[in-house]
Amino acid sequence: MKNVLITGSARGIGAQTAKLFAAEGYNVIVNYNTSENEAAETCREISLSGGNSVMIKADVSKRSEAEHLFSEARKEFGPIDVLVNNAGVAQIKLFTDITDEDYDRMFDCNVRSVFNCCQLALPDMIHKKNGRIINVSSMWGITGASCEVHYSASKAAVIGLTKALAREVAPSGITVNAVAPGVIDTPMNSGFDKETMEALKEETPVGRIGTPEDVARAILFLADEKSSFITGQTLGIDGAFI
């Protein structure tokens, strides 16, 4: 049985990804930072469906906490076969109003967390000559978003990290890919009012807002052995928005 660690998997895309991997027979490490109740509910649903999971608290932007996460995960299930770097934050703000604290938090949560977890997962993957890493970026990391400059820049950095790391670890049988979700019905977008969401829906050519399951299924595909020749890629899941 393979083991998957999904950062930020208490709710939204992460939670749906956790449940989907569990349904496919994976042992699932549900990572959370502040959303303890939601993480417990995700694990409860996995258990009710006959799956195996454990919830572990860690702010993966902090190296010591990320190390604790991987140590506890290994004690519970063994080495990580699939790493999904999903943890992240967003913020809408005029560029001229972004503070040093805003910038640092954005890059810590969205980029340093990916750096930390990739470094911690790779030794076991390299030893086994096999592994899958899937990083969650955003369509705004590809095209950029007004009033989300620091967010767009951080997600673009995730894509750059993905492409470079994929080349470096490919000889070790490890693939590294990214997904770039569009407008998805998640708590991260809950701050938008109904009119804004309707406008975004109209801008999406397929005529609907994406679901967490849309993204989760793409992540599961990239984790599968059938996708072993796909690496260094960014898969857009945006209904042709860009």
Q: Which of 136, 140, 109 is nearest to 16 (CA)?
A: 136
Say how far apart CA 104 and CA 97 lie, in whole Å.
Answer: 14
Tokens found for residue 73 = 């995960």
Q: Which of 149, 229, 215 is nearest to 182 (CA)?
A: 215
Report residue 63 CA to chain centroid gap: 18
Could you say which of 26, 32, 103, 151 is catalytic? 151
Say how far apart CA 31 and CA 190 lie, in whole Å.
Answer: 21
103 classed as catalytic: no
Report residue 207 CA to chain centroid gap: 25
Based on its alpha-carbon atoms, the radius of gyration of the chain, rounded to whole angstroms, reads 17
Active-site annotation, residues:
151
